[in-house]
Structure 1
């Protein structure tokens, strides 16, 4: 089960009026140290008007997450579970989860 590290109640409301969205990708690390591709989850963390504001928000989140590895992920422990996390700023309308089925 993925541990939700960040969720802002206002993100959904702000998302409708923004130009940039800060997404957080995260997955729980298995006891053996691996992460399956199906374990990754994308969450909206914050919505901003500009790319610069999004990058500032990402920097704030990164500070609380700690050091990053060579791939840009931080490893945090929450409720006894290790989770890999990274923040990504994308333009409004770009969904990192891919296309939705109809």
Structure 2
């Protein structure tokens, strides 16, 4: 596998408990090897006006071939009408870490 075979997939959630639940569900399903949950402040256009709200960001470390399944999983379980699901390719990373991501994700 090469670095390009991996993604960091990001979404946000409106509360910490929901973000942690989603993170655990994804990792339990082995769609990502790990998830990082942390607070952010988001400014965005929604319902015809600028929104400014606290959210919880979740970054999932996964294989590129699982990106579509992960996006579907997140979207089906998310409370937002239009959840952010953005996958960014890994350009570089340690071989040992990426081997771990590979071994901890599903091979179905």
Is TM > 0.5 for Structure 1 vs Structure 2? Answer: no
TM-score using structure 2 length: 0.36
Structure 1 or 2: more strand by fraction: 2
TM-score using structure 1 length: 0.38
Structure 1 or 2: more helix by fraction: 2
